[in-house]
Structure formats: C-alpha cells, structure tokens
Amino acid sequence: MYQDKTLVCKDCGQEFVFTAGEQQFYAEKGFQNEPQRCKSCRDARKNANKADKPMFTTVCAKCGKEAKVPFQPSNDRPVYCSECFAAMKAGE
C-alpha cells in the first residue's frame, strides 16, 4: 500500500526518503502531515533546547553513584541515576 517517497528537507534542502514503514507508522499514530525535515535536522531541532538546560549533580538515593539531573534536587524526595530509575520503572 505504501511506497517510499523522496521529500526535500525545509531546513537544509537535502532530499530524504520517507519510507513505506515510516508512512505506516505515521498512519497508525494518526499523523496527517508528512515530515518536513530530514532525520538530522529533526534531531538538531529536538536537541537545540537541551543544551540550554542546566544540569545538576547529585547522589543517587539507591546506588550512591553520582547522577546528573535536569532539575534542582530537593531534600524532600529521593533522586535516582538513570540506570536505577530505568530499573525501577521496569519493575525490577
């Protein structure tokens, strides 16, 4: 049903392929517009705001390792490193 399409990135002007699989994914999610940017321009746009956020260093409440978090830790709630947080989220 879907076929690969060649699109032009509106930021860099390079051609990129909107694959049949990506088109199916967009349809399943209910997206009605095709992507306007190539993968590298989308990634750059997503990460542009991340560089502006200050990171805070704290100690993981579970394993004791140093953890960097994008918020100011307070003493009323525990803070976990990314590995411990992921393990807790997975139910380990």
pLDDT tens digits along 23-59: 999 999 999 999 999 999 999 988 877 667 788 999 9
- Whether the pTM exceeds 0.85: the reply is no
What is the C-alpha end-to-end distance of the chain, expressed in Å?
41
Contacts of 45 (CB under 8 A, 6+ apart): 11, 37
Question: Which of 9-13, 24-28, 81-85, 88-92 comes out lowest in average pLDDT?
Answer: 88-92
CA distances from 47 to 8, 21, 41, 43 (A): 21, 25, 10, 6
Return the closest-CA partner of residue 1 out of 14, 22, 20, 27: 20
- SS3 (DSSP) at 5: strand
Can you read off the two tokens belonging to residue 20? Answer: 């049949």
